[in-house]
Structure 1
Amino acid sequence: MSYFNNFERIFMQRSLELINTYNGEYETTLLLNGLIGLLFFPHERMGELIPEISIQELEAWGFNSDCIVNAGANKESKELNLRGIIRHLRNAVAHCRVNPFPNDHRPCEGFCFADKNGFEAKIPTNQIKNLMRNLLEHLLK
């Protein structure tokens, strides 16, 4: 398997391995760096393969719909699906509209995402990892 012939697949496999194995001090930094590739490649190069799983079904993936603060563009959170959430998260990251949020124990418990369409989400690190892990596993099938 050549890296250049299967770039996206190998990139996703390596990213999944990093998500599953890294437990160091810079976990949230690694996750945010990883989001750049993990949101951009699937969205830009294989967007049609991202399933339109409802936000309610994403709870089985370990992603709580309460993380969505505002669905944006006159939408209700229940109208969102995985493909739309990935697009909104990608837009937030691409336009540097991401900020960490702390708790009493850690300086970064997760990230707040916002895009120019009014979408807002406050997602704990473990749920970002769940979402990305499950998306990668789905795309690698």
Structure 2
Amino acid sequence: MSYFNNFEQLFMRRSLELIDTYQGEYETTQLLNAFIGLLFFPNERMPDLIPEKTLQDIEAWGFSQNCIINAGAHKVPQEINLRELVRRLRNSVAHCRVDPFPNDHRSCEGFCFMDRNGFEAKIPTDQIKNLMRGLLAHLLEQ
């Protein structure tokens, strides 16, 4: 399959393989890099394929809705759906509003994402992987 004829699908498949196989010293850096790409491409090139599943629905993927600290825009976290979550996370990354936690000299356990509308999420690395796997599995089935 040519990379040029089916870029999005191959990019997603290869990114999924990287997050599932990379075990090196820079695992969280690799994870964040893959996550950035996987937030941007679906959000920009195929937003209608991102399902409007509730956060409760995607708990089956291993993503806890408790990661959403503030839904922003006068919403409660339970009102955000997957499509909006992807958009909010994409905006956080696009505006460099991402910080590792615990943000001291210990290893990175996950990342905090914030956007300009008050959205805030604190997502452990294992749940970032689960969110990516679930979203990619859905998109690759389309």
TM-score range, shorter chain: over 0.9
The match for 2:93 is 93
For residues 137 and 96 of structure 2, the distance between their equivalents in structure 1, rounded to whole angstroms, comes to: 26
The match for 2:11 is 11
For residues 88 and 37 of structure 1, the distance between their equivalents in structure 2, rounded to whole angstroms, comes to: 14
For residues 57 and 66 of structure 1, the distance between their equivalents in structure 2, rounded to whole angstroms, comes to: 13
Could you tell me which amino acid in structure 2 is paired with residue 16 of structure 1?
A: L
2:132 paired with 1:132: yes
Which sections of structure 2, spanning at least 5 residues, go unmatched? none
SS at match of 1:54: coil
Normalising to structure 1: TM-score of the pair?
0.96
Which sections of structure 1, spanning at least 5 residues, go unmatched? none
SS at match of 1:99: strand
The match for 1:69 is 69
Identity over aligned residues, as a percent?
Answer: 73
Deviation at 1:106, TM superposition (A): 4.2
Summarize the alignment of residues 44-123 of structure 1 with structure 2, pairs less than 5 Å apart: 44-102=44-102, 106-123=106-123
Deviation at 1:102, TM superposition (A): 2.0
Normalising to structure 2: TM-score of the pair?
0.95
Could you tell me which amino acid in structure 2 is paired with residue 79 of structure 1?
A: E
For residues 53 and 63 of structure 1, the distance between their equivalents in structure 2, rounded to whole angstroms, comes to: 12
